[in-house]
A = this chain, B = another copy of it.
Amino acid sequence: MKVSRRRVLATAAGAVALGRTAAMQSPAPAPAASDPSKAPGRPARTLGQRAAFEKPQRITRGATGSQTPHQDLYGTITPADLHFERHHAGVPEIDPRSYSLLIHGMVERPMMFTLADLKRFPSVSRVCFLECSGNFNRAAPPETTPQQLAGMTSQSEWTGVMLSTLFREVGARPQATWFLAEGHDAALLARSIPVEKAFDDAMIAYAQNGEAIRPEQGYPARLLLPGWEGNSNVKWIRRIELSDRPFMTREETSKYTDPLANDTARIFSFVMDARSLITYPAYPVTLTRGWVEINGIAWSGYGKIQRVDVSTDAGRSWASAKLQEPVLPKAHTRFRHLWKWDGGEAIVLSRAVDETGYVQPPRAELLKTRGPGAANYHLNPVTGWLVRSDGAVVYNQEAWG
């Protein structure tokens, strides 16, 4: 707003900012000093805390999952305490001093690595997303937030040792084509992974966003398979066994297998297809007329996001959004698109295109391939938000079948 000097003096103390997150719209937990410049502030401390006015939180889904509050986030990094979690028997507490990773099976030299051993190898860091393959709610009602719609994808800077380094250390045999990755949780969660991935970009990660990996992300060490479904990135990893065939564990037979429309099913559907999510505007925001920066995240397990298209007319026309550089492979990429909202009802949609040329499909197209009996895995349809003429924004609900 344009102001005169008089107005500045008259309103500076009483101006009210309308935050765009639910947390900011709720009453402040504690009144701040009327003029913070009139008294010394809080002294330095050994650990910082969030401002009392900011309360981002995960939403728990039963005892075994929680979702990232995308509508409260900016940029591309997910704060570690807001990274989604998903486990099958709770989060184990593992003493790093007794942690070990055994690599055996079709290898020249079976070896056991302590955490210190793992940290002694050459290390690498990479920023990538991690997404649960069950990150979509087909029955989402209009009152659905980005967190509830797609809160099981998050992004971190991971640091660890390349799995290829360890496989060379143990002498993986040429006939070994698969390996079993087994976690040290009470579910002993185990998945079969092609050895090819180990020699591509798989890591054993022990750090996340600059610090030791968090307990619910696999402390003290996890398998990281950039771009692949979360479940295969086995946390609390304690054992890797190399073999010449997959192990057909429970998690790849009774679960994480996708029925298709033609009465077959696909198994070992590891890679997460390209997807995008508008995080603003979204339920429960209320818009005011004028310029709006539509923004969100897009990602693909196949590589870099090449383009994100945004539509503000329910998909009749599309425009390319601006992508935040640097665009990294297999990483959440922030996209932004300016839109002048004129007060009419509108449906805003986003559509990711990755470097392979793959285009995120509309719901009807995805449904045709997967069929009405599709499992809740790998569902990545184009989604968006309905802006009502009063400015209220709700999820653009579409019937699945």
Interface set of A (CB-CB < 8 Å, partner B):
1-5, 7-8, 11-20, 24, 28, 30-33, 36-54, 56-66, 72-83, 85, 87, 89-100, 102, 104, 109-117, 119-125, 157-159, 184-186, 188, 206-207, 209-212, 214-216, 219-220, 236, 291-293, 295, 324, 326, 328, 334, 336, 338
Contact of A48 among B20, B117, B215 (CB under 8 A): B215
Q: Who on chain B is nearest to A23 by CB?
A: B212
Q: Given that A75-B159, A110-B3, A123-B293 are contacting pairs, would A49 and B81 also be in contact in the complex, using a CB cutoff of 8 Å?
A: yes
Q: Are A102 and B12 in contact (CB under 8 A)?
A: yes
How many copies of the shown chain assemble into the complex? 2
A99 CB, nearest partner CB in chain B, Å: 6
Q: Are B97 and A28 in contact (CB under 8 A)?
A: yes
Q: Who on chain B is nearest to A236 by CB?
A: B36
Contact of A5 among B18, B110, B125 (CB under 8 A): B110
Q: Are B8 and A112 in contact (CB under 8 A)?
A: yes
Complex formed: what's the CA distance from A292 to B62 in Å?
44
Complex formed: what's the CA distance from A207 to B32 in Å?
20
Among all A-B residue pairs, the 4 with the closest Cβ atoms: A41-B90, A36-B92, A74-B207, A43-B63
Q: Who on chain B is nearest to A113 by CB?
A: B1
Q: Given that A38-B186, A41-B90, A100-B12 are contacting pairs, would A159 and B74 also be in contact in the complex, using a CB cutoff of 8 Å?
A: yes
Q: Are A37 and B188 in contact (CB under 8 A)?
A: yes
Q: Are A31 and B95 in contact (CB under 8 A)?
A: yes
Q: Which residues of B contact A326 (CB under 8 A)?
A: 326, 328
Q: Which residues of B contact A292 (CB under 8 A)?
A: 120
Q: A44-B63, A74-B159 are in contact. List 13 more A-B contacts (CB 8 A).
A: A14-B98, A17-B115, A17-B117, A18-B116, A41-B89, A43-B64, A47-B82, A49-B81, A50-B214, A74-B206, A74-B211, A121-B293, A125-B324
Contact of A47 among B1, B57, B113 (CB under 8 A): B57
